[in-house]
Every structure is written in structure tokens, then in C-alpha cells.
Structure 1
Amino acid sequence: MVAADLDVTVDLARSLLEEQHPDLADRPLQLVANGWDNVMIRLGDDLALRLPRRELGAQLMRNEHQVLPLLAPRLPVAVPDPVRTGVPSPALGYPWPWGVVRWADGVAAATVPATERTPWAEHLARFFVALHQPATDDGRLSAVIDFGDVTSGDPASDLGTMWLTFDAEGRKRFRRVVDAEARDGRGWDTGMWRRAQGWALLYTTICFSYPDTHPIMVRVGEHAVEQLFSEGA
């Protein structure tokens, strides 16, 4: 686990709500996850708090708060666009922005056997088709989360998840949808998919970075290595 710059607790979350969103402060709170960048705390039945635990996570949170309200109406699945935002609290010693998002029921893909993920391939592909649209002049998945690293860049960095998430059949379905629908039906060239393999290899090395605290990511990495080598990457 990446060391936290600040210990984020349920008590701190409650105090932040009481200070900034008192109408939500009486809801039950349940710690769900301590991620690399953020702590996730469920808020009642339908909401969740995302609170940065380190400075880098705070910058990613600012990115999400800026872009997700613009992206959410254009995407075919739920994303964690904020329904409320929080600000740093000098009184409570919490120095970063934070947010309240809608709770998305579901399970992490990494906890599901690869062969059972195949039916999701077309849905995830269509999500990326929608995401990778050129900017306009003015500007059945449950959800896709963690948009802190969002930027204008190479779509291959997103498509690399194909090897981390799916088996050969799932990748076939995923690519078929992307090739048929991306860029108004023009799809992507071979170079895009080769770069996507390179991104997948990079992500795989990250998966092995914290085996003691994130063993499930090690399994994701092992799956990706197997899939990449099966294609001679």
C-alpha cells in the first residue's frame, strides 16, 4: 500500500459532513476501501464519500470534479460524478477537496473469473467508444470509476485494459465493437492496438507493486501476463 499522507477515518468523515453538509451527517457510514489515492466510505444506501488520503490523490480528485460533470451525460454507464463537493477544512486538519458520489452496486471485475467477464466486453467497448469522441466545438456495466488521471491523450491507454480484464473470447468481442463503432465506424488502426498492448504491459508491472496490501491486483497482473504472452506480445 502506498503510504498515506493523512489517516482518513470514519470519524473524520462524519466531522466533515457535519461541518459542510449537515443534512447528510446523520446517515450511517461504513468504510469500504482504502485505495492507493482515496478512501471510500459508504454513506447510507445510495451515496458514498471519496476522500483523498495523499496529496497526489487530491489533485486527481480535482480532475474528477472538473471533468466528470461534463462527461457523465455523454456516457452509457454510471460514473462517479459528484453530487456534492467538499472543501479543505483547516478546523479539522483536512487539507484537500473531497466529494460525495452516487453508490454503484456491483463487484470488482478482478473478483470474477475471466471467463465470466466475457459478456461485459461489448458494454465496456461501447463505453470507450463514447469516451473517445473528439471534443465538440463548445467544449451493461454498473459503473466505471477512478477518473483522476483523465486527460487528453492516447486512447490506447484505456484500451489496454482488454488484456487485464478479458480472455481471448472477451477480447475478440471487445475489439469487434471498438473497430465497428469508434470514430464514427472507422475504428482504430493496427498501431493503436499495438500501443494498447504496451500500455497493458505497463499496467501489469504496476499490479505487482504491492503484493502484501493488494493481492487481488497480483491476480490481475498474472492474468494479464498470461493473456499477453498467449498473443506473443
Structure 2
Amino acid sequence: MIPSPDRRLVDADVVRRLIARQFPHWAGLPVRPVATNGWDNQTFHLGDRMSVRLPTAREYALAVDKEHRWLPMFASRMPLPIPVPLAKGVPGEDFAFPWSVYEWIDGEPAGTGAIGDLTGLAAGLAAFLVSLRRIDPVGGPEPGLHNWFRGGPLRIYDSQARRAIEVLDGRVPRDAVTQIWESALEATWDGRPVWFHGDVAAGNLLVRDGALAAVIDFGTCGVGDPACDLAIAWTLLSGASREAFRAGIDVDAGTWARGRGWALWKALITYDADAGAKRVVDEVVRGT
């Protein structure tokens, strides 16, 4: 089992000092926390059109150089906006890791009631991920600690998933989830490595005027098996929207089964901490 990182959080005063020392031309801009923060990074507004993104642990900081290298290249090839780094900071002023300044993208996280047409969002997201897979993968980072082995074999989390199934016996349908998990493991991948996002979740999809407006947070991106990007089919989508996503994403049955396994694994290990995990397990069991 991969250990949990030792997260370190900071406040806006630390960010102000970092900006003042390293990027003094921005020192006069106001700094304030964003409304909703993620787990791997803390994000702060810098003025009205920029953001500061700070890894919360050493392991998450491994993604900083990767994002600065690849995201500018991705941006010109994608059908939707993605975050573009403007500057890279170095450790200092009570902060131990490299960090970034990004362009700000307006929008609300999906899943907050802002989606006007979930089926349309699903089709647009599928097109986005297909475009990402078409980018030349040569030189891209293979699965590793920098992205918690997204894009690698699902089997790396086998013991963790089975332990969760044991602990949750009586709260989840043990036989059904075990069968789904084992089917995902059996659907091994031997395809050509492609780019994947790695964390296609509602919080990383921005919606504006009810429609998908941007995809953010590429910290777990890499080159390998794209099945991890399919978990959204069970965590956010259902019914017609899931069908539209599957029709547009253009993957074989084995990749779809592994994507279902990724969704199940995450729901099982977060079952007691995430109020939505039970719904995800239910969707995985009910929806193929």
C-alpha cells in the first residue's frame, strides 16, 4: 500500500511573501484563497486573472516541472481551455516545494448544480480526452509516484481494494464488487501508450453558462493506459450521459472494464470519508 503524503498547508501571508520575493512585479496584487481547494494543491487568487498553485506535500510537488514542460504544448492542441503556467517559483519563505503561477480560468466546478446538459458535457469531455490521447506521447512521463501510478496496471492497488472490500462487508455488495474488481484486473492492457489526464473528476471540470468550459489540474497526467480517465463515467455520469461518453471516448471493452475498476477502487478506499462514495459504488454495480 502506498503511504499517504504528509500534507503541509499555508495561508495567504506565505503566498504574499513568496510573490514579493520571487515575482516583485506582482507584489501589489491581492492574494486570497479560492472558494474550493483540492487535496494535492492549495490554490490562491493572484489579482483577478491569475492563480498561485502550491503543492501540499513533497510527493505532489513532483508534478510541478511536468506541468510546466507539457501544459503549454497541450494548450494549443486541445478543444477546451486548460491551465497555462506563467511562472515557476522555487522553495522559500516558509514553503518547502516548487510552486506555480497560472492563468486564471473562470468557471464553476461541475457537480455543483451548474451543468445545463449533462449528456452534452459528457460528449464534450469525451472529445477532449480523445484529443489528449492523439498528442505525440514520445518523451512523456510514464506512471510513477509523480501521478500515483495512474496509467499503470490497476493491480498495484489490488491489496488495497480487497482490504476495503473486507472492511466494508455488509455495507457494499461483496460478491458483486469483487467480481467487478477481478474483471477489471483480468482486462490487462497491452496497447500503445497515450497521454491521459489522470484525475478526470467533477472538481476538475469547469462549467460556465451550464456547459463544459475547461479541464484543469493535470498534476496526475502521464503516458500509459488511459483507462483511469474513464472513472468519471460512474462518478458523475449515468444513463444517457454515460452512454454518450462511452460512444465518444472510443475505447475497447477491456479499457472500459478497467475504467470501471478505477472508479470502484477510489470509491471503496474513500467510502467512510466521502459522502458520495456510496453512490459511486452503487453506480458501478448497477451500470456497465
The number of residue pairs the alignment matches comes to: 214
Q: Is the 8 A contact 1:168 1:227 kept in 2?
A: no
Q: Where in structure 1 are there 5+ consecutive unaligned residues? A: 180-187, 212-216
Per chain length, whose mean CA-contact separation is higher, i.e. which structure has more relative contact order (CA < 8 Å, sep 6+)? 2
User: Is 1:56–2:78 an aligned residue pair?
Assistant: no
Q: 1:21 — aligned with what? A: 23
Q: Measure the CA separation in 1 of the matches of 2:17 and 2:48.
A: 19
242, 248, 255: which one aligns with 1:177: 248
Mean CA deviation greater in 42-51 or 136-145 = 136-145
* CA displacement, residues 68-121 of structure 1 (integer Å, 9 cap, x when unaligned): 1221211111212201221122xx132211111121222222323889533211
Structure 2 CA distance for partners of 1:137 and 1:208, relative to 1, 3 Å: closer
CA apart distance, 1:206: 4.4
User: Is 1:111–2:112 an aligned residue pair?
Assistant: yes
Give secondary structure in 1 for the equivalent of 2:101: strand
* CA displacement, residues 115-170 of structure 1 (integer Å, 9 cap, x when unaligned): 95332111100110011125267985222122111111111111221111112110
Q: What pairs up with 1:104-143 in 2 under 5 angstroms?
A: 104-112=105-113, 117-133=118-134, 135=136, 141-143=212-214
Determine which structure has the larger helix proportion and give its number. 1
Structure 1 counterpart of 2:59, which letter? L
Q: Where in structure 2 are there 5+ consecutive unaligned residues? A: 141-210
* CA displacement, residues 24-60 of structure 1 (integer Å, 9 cap, x when unaligned): 1211211114432211101121111101121112112
CA RMSD, 1 decimal: 2.4
50, 73, 98: which one aligns with 1:70: 73
CA apart distance, 1:14: 0.6
Q: 1:218 — aligned with what? A: 275
**Could you state the TM-score of these two structures normalised by the residue count of structure 2?**
0.67
Q: Measure the CA separation in 1 of the matches of 2:124 and 2:54.
A: 29
Q: 2:202 — aligned with what? A: none
131, 147, 154: which one aligns with 2:218: 147
CA apart distance, 1:5: 4.1
**Could you state the TM-score of these two structures normalised by the residue count of structure 1?**
0.82
Q: Is the 8 A contact 1:17 1:25 kept in 2?
A: yes
Q: Measure the CA separation in 2 of the matches of 1:113 and 1:206.
A: 28
Percentage of matched positions with identical amino acids: 36
Give secondary structure in 1 for the equivalent of 2:280: helix
Mean CA deviation greater in 122-131 or 64-73 = 64-73
Structure 2 CA distance for partners of 1:134 and 1:15, relative to 1, 3 Å: closer
User: Is 1:205–2:268 an aligned residue pair?
Assistant: yes
Structure 1 counterpart of 2:284, which letter? L
Q: 1:182 — aligned with what? A: none
Q: Measure the CA separation in 2 of the matches of 1:31 and 1:191.
A: 41
